[in-house]
Amino acid sequence: MKKISFLILSIFFIGLLNVNSFAKVKSNAKIKKPNLIVQKEAAIKEMTDEIFAIDSKIEGEVGQIINYLSSVKDSAESHTKVAVIKEKAILALANSVADYKRERAKRMNELSKRYPNLSRDILKKQIGIADERINKRIKQIVDITSSLTQNQNVKKYDKYWTRQRRSGRRAKVKSGKKISKEYKQNRSVTAKSNALKDKVIKGLNDEIDTLEAKNVSLNTKIQTERSKEIKEQYKKEIEANKVTIEKRKQQIADAEAQTAVSTTPLQYNDAKELEKQITDMVLDIEDQEAKMKQLIYKRNMALKKLATYKKAAGKK
């Protein structure tokens, strides 16, 4: 199966442009601009809208994958095939969380500077997007985890009978017991599910530990920081971390409880079809992301040209 890699970070690189800003400027009769500038602004707005539309489509497809995976489970025929697909999806989502956290940390570091390289409003907006995506991905991880197969009370042994033919005598019937197919399947898929669930819970606990340590560090910084604005920023981050900690604790409880909606067992061929469908969706997501990156590059180039045009117009 193709590696599941729906890691959509491109949204960070579009500058989080307010798509209504061009319309406001354009409709302001007091501001006169050369047609070239107006055209360039309109083109940038169109590209920005398309970037957000692609991102929305990608998120929708990721959501479809998660929802479907959360509604199915393995059968005796599929063995652990569905569990393996879920494991790959969880790993991809976890990698996505890690990438968003790195991007968020960069912006938090920039925000703590007295003279950041972007406006504080833009940085805060980007951090907000990162937080939204991180929480969304973690919820998706917990949703899949909650759908993992739980241990079931199935009979361990099946009785069997064999007939032993003996020359010139009646066949002898011999009975015995053997481990049932259902028991083997339950043991196999439960072991896989429990190991995966333990990894998810450990990841959530590790994040709680990290956030608690971060709050200790921020409280220390507050004592020595001179800037009131940065002090206030640290305090807000501490409060946000506390909220996240409580959210993660609840998610741990949800993962442990595994109170998912009923799941449908898939036969082997159905599990193979699921694998194919997800692979096709991932390929489409990657195509959409490539298109988004091209648009972002074109938009960034257009922004540079626009800045040049505005500078030239201002000198006249």
pLDDT digits (tens, 9 = 90+) for 96-152: 899 889 889 988 888 888 888 878 888 888 888 889 999 999 999 999 998 887 656
Q: How far, in Å, CA of 215 to CA of 213, rounded? A: 5
pLDDT per residue as tens digits for the range 236-295: 999 999 999 999 999 999 888 765 557 888 898 999 998 898 888 888 888 888 898 888
More confident residue, 69 or 24: 69
| pLDDT (0 to 100) of residue 24 | 37
Distance CA 177, CA 162 (A): 11
- Give the pLDDT confidence score for residue 245 in this predicted structure: 96
Per the prediction, the chain carries an average pLDDT of 80
Of the listed ranges 22-36, 70-84, 149-163, the least confidently predicted one is 22-36
Judge whether residue 162 has pLDDT over 90.
no
Nearest 5°: CA angle at 196, between 194 and 197?
Answer: 65
Structure tokens at 297: 């590059």
Report the pLDDT value the prediction gives residue 190, as an integer from 0 to 100: 82
- For residue 239, what pLDDT is reported? 96
Q: What is the dihedral of CA 183, 184, 185, 187, to 10 degrees?
A: 80
- Residue 78 binned pLDDT confidence (cut-offs 50, 70, 90): confident
Query: What integer pLDDT is reported at residue 297 of this predicted model?
Result: 85
Per-residue pLDDT reduced to its tens digit, 175-197: 666 666 766 777 777 888 889 89
| Rounded alpha-carbon distances, angstroms, from residue 187 to 154, 156, 193, 268 | 10, 10, 10, 18
Note the pLDDT of residue 259: 59
Task: Tell me the one-letter amino acid at 62.
Answer: V
Q: Which pLDDT score, from 0 to 100, does residue 37 have?
A: 86
Top pLDDT among 5 and 235 is at 235
pTM of the model: 0.77
Dist. CA 231–CA 104, nearest whole Å: 19
